[in-house]
Chain A
């Protein structure tokens, strides 16, 4: 493949291609850079630059509403990531390593949350919880309300599918002979899973968990519908602010959120480069 570029002199077509590509990259990054730059703007008015300042960042970290929303986001993301990773990994295993009746249906069911429009899912869950609370109240007398619980339950509902897709891909790449070799060497089904399969799919499991975490932290539409008073998450809170107008405070919050995404991306790349170092320590037991 490397033979195509780099040997012939740059033709006009090549130059055009390169220019287009760099323009697209500018298109990608300019808005983000503008955002970052203006978050350090001392001026109240976002568009007009006066002087650099950390004023807005200080305000962000003192703003109770923002901090509260951030706390909620983290709680919900943590819960939904853990649960959906466990359930999703189990689903992937059952689909790739076993055969049972209704497997095709199960496979299809797991894809639905990915395909379905977010708005529909938001509506579904809203009606479900509303209806469910009424029913619980009339039968058991317990009347829960919308809050972090409903948000977490909703996030898990769509995250399971994402984790399953990622883990299945990883399982598919695994040489089935390895599990046969483990059995040949006297391992029971469970031992073969724990000592061979699990360490080797761990990068996939962690990748799936990371994906679930990111999606959960990002979610606006569904969370918006199933949140309650006092239980908004960061993106939903920012969404509310944004609809009302552009302020430098939002800039600063946005940049913080961007920074967090970057950290997550860096972490995930770190995992992919070095899966062995983490995996080896777990196989020594």
Chain B
């Protein structure tokens, strides 16, 4: 005998139960939501607004006079030069990191578990130590009186004048971001099913062919993850170029900062910031759409 009253009342009660639970979740999410809206979304909006403002002759920002002058200036040859230089530097850094990191990650992934863990810790230690200090260490090394220079003089060469050049910045960036490339690569290689490589060799593939056809394609997600983890932050690098670079090698990060300090052109600086943000956002979205349609364990 079916109890009709219970069947009829069903949908409302179930809905009510689900809604109460959903409300609880919303409340738990609220504090962080509120905080980020106030201290992230709102500031972002302000930058966007400022990018359409005008810079007065005294360097103050006039909010009433809206225009796209700042954005038009983004196409100036100077800006484009800086943009290209930054982009190229980021690409070269990523490439060098990949070339250095891949053999290392491969080596690590093919050791015994105990050795693997020790090597992993050895890689993590620089990763966790202070970025500023690590970059500063290169300033010490590359100075005209520094150890590298002394070494080359001892070998009969000239004192090295590497500091304040593009090369110094490159070295500093590679040094700083190498762990970001090693770790995803190692994770991908370690997770790989190596019996596939053995199967390839069983089917007459030579060592290099086996690598090309099996290992490399399977490690590709790690390669891409590592590349993104290096490329994107390098685009916005400020500290490393500031310490190791010179006036002749202005990069995007420093250029933006100078708009707010020395040059006092906030609208332009805001436009530049917005521009850089969109480029990075675009790169990240491309990464998530094309290469990782599911899952997000960055």
Contact = CB atoms under 8 A, between A and B. Distances in A.
B297 interface: yes
Given A86-B31, A243-B243, 7 more contacts: A6-B112, A25-B122, A27-B175, A109-B40, A123-B273, A160-B35, A160-B36
B107 A20 contact: yes
A183 B117 CA distance: 39
A86 to B, nearest CB: 8
- Counting chain B residues whose Cβ lies within 8 A of the other chain, the interface size class is 35 or more
B100 A4 contact: no
Given A112-B40, A123-B273, A242 B23 contact: no
A20 B57 CA distance: 56
Given A2-B113, A110-B32, A128-B39, A20 B207 contact: no
Which one of B28, B122, B243 has the greatest number of beta carbons of chain A within 10 Å? B28
Interface string A45-61: 11110000000000000
B108 to A, nearest CB: 7
Interface string A13-34: 1000110110011011111101
A103 B257 CA distance: 35
20 contacts: A11-B207, A17-B106, A24-B104, A27-B175, A31-B138, A32-B133, A34-B141, A38-B140, A88-B32, A94-B25, A98-B28, A120-B274, A127-B266, A128-B39, A154-B39, A221-B257, A238-B136, A239-B239, A242-B132, A242-B139
Contacts, number: 263
A116 B29 contact: no
A209 to B, nearest CB: 14
Contact of A218 (B25, B132, B147): B132
Contact of B236 (A118, A124, A218, A242): A118
B42 interface: yes
Task: Name the prevailing secondary structure of the B interface residues.
Answer: helix
Contacts of A42: none
B280 A116 contact: yes
Nearest to A248: B140
B260 interface: yes
A251 interface: yes
Contact of B107 (A17, A29, A91, A128): A17
Nearest to B122: A25
B43 interface: yes
Interface string A101-135: 10100100110111111111011111110010000
Interface of B: 21-26, 28-29, 31-33, 35-36, 39-44, 46-47, 50, 100-101, 103-104, 106-113, 121-126, 128-134, 136-141, 143, 145-147, 149-150, 175, 178, 190, 194, 197-198, 207, 232-233, 235-236, 238-239, 242-243, 252-253, 256-257, 260, 266, 269-270, 273-274, 276-277, 280-281, 284, 297-298
B258 to A, nearest CB: 11
